[in-house]
Amino acid sequence: MAEEKKSRLFILKPLIERWPAVAKPEGHVTFRTKIMWTILCLILYFVLTNVMIFGLKGDIIDLFENYRFIMAGASGSIMHLGIGPIVTASIILQLFVGAKIINLDLTKKEDKAIYQGTQKVLVVVMIVVEAVPQIFGYLQPSDGLISMAGGVGSANLIIVVQLCLGAFLVFFMDELISKWGIGSGISLFIAAGVSQAIFTGLFNWFPTNGLLELSVSNPPAGVIPGTYYLVTEMSLGQIMNTGYQTMFMGQPGVYENAIVPLLGTILIFFIVVYAESSRIELPLAHGKVRGARGRYPIRLIYASNIPVILMAALLANVNMFAMLLHKAGDKIPLLGGQWWIGAYDLQQSTQPIAGGAWYLSSPGGINSWLMPILYGGYAGHDAWQYAIKVILYLSIMIFGSILFAKFWIETTNMGPAAVAKQIQGSGMQIPGFRRDPRVLKKVLARYIPVVTVIGGAAVGALAGFADCIGTIGKASGTGVLLTVGIMIRMYEDIAKEQAMEMHPVLRGFFGNE
Most confident of 9-18, 108-117, 419-428, 453-462: 453-462
| Average pLDDT of the chain to the nearest whole number | 81
Residue scoring higher pLDDT (90 or 292): 90
Average pLDDT over residues 474-502: 78
Most confident of 64-73, 181-190, 432-441: 181-190
Contact of 349 with 342, CB cutoff 8 Å: no
Most confident of 161-175, 192-206, 358-372: 161-175
Average pLDDT over residues 410-417: 77
Residue type, 146: I
Whether 255 shows a pLDDT value over 80: the answer reads: no
Whether 144 shows a pLDDT value over 50: the answer reads: yes
Alpha-helical regions (H) of 412-447: 416-425, 437-445
* Res 166: pLDDT: 92
Contact of 74 with 50, CB cutoff 8 Å: yes
State how far the Cα of 485 lies from the Cα of 301, in Å rounded to an integer: 10
Tell me the pLDDT band of 389, cut-offs 50, 70 and 90. very high
Least confident of 44-53, 58-67, 203-212: 58-67
State how far the Cα of 15 lies from the Cα of 421, in Å rounded to an integer: 31
* Res 2: pLDDT: 43
Contact of 185 with 175, CB cutoff 8 Å: yes
Residue scoring higher pLDDT (296 or 31): 31
* Res 159: pLDDT: 93
Percentage above 90 pLDDT, the chain: 12
* Res 335: pLDDT: 81
Domains of the chain from N-terminus onward: 1-19+30-181 (1.10.3370.10), 257-513 (1.10.3370.10)
| Phi/psi of residue 295, nearest 5 degrees | -140, 145
Contact of 329 with 337, CB cutoff 8 Å: yes
Tell me the pLDDT band of 426, cut-offs 50, 70 and 90. low
Whether 158 shows a pLDDT value over 90: the answer reads: yes
Average pLDDT over residues 501-511: 54
Whether 416 shows a pLDDT value over 90: the answer reads: no
Residue scoring higher pLDDT (460 or 503): 460
* Res 501: pLDDT: 67
Measured over the CA atoms of residue 125, residue 128, residue 134 and residue 139, the dihedral's sign is positive
Tell me the pLDDT band of 160, cut-offs 50, 70 and 90. very high
Predicted structure pTM score: 0.74
DSSP calls for 161-214: HHHHHHHHHHHHHHHHHHHHSSS-HHHHHHHHHHHHHHHHHHH--SBSSTTS--
Whether 310 shows a pLDDT value over 50: the answer reads: yes
pLDDT digits (tens, 9 = 90+) for 359-371: 988 887 777 788 7
Task: List the 293-299 sheet strands across, edge first.
Answer: 293-299, 279-286, 428-429
Q: In 137-172, which positions are buried (b, 16+ CB within 10 angstroms) versus exposed (e)? A: ebbbbeeebbeebeeeeebbebbbebbbebbbbbbe
Whether 456 shows a pLDDT value over 50: the answer reads: yes
State how far the Cα of 115 lies from the Cα of 64, in Å rounded to an integer: 28
Residue scoring higher pLDDT (15 or 512): 15
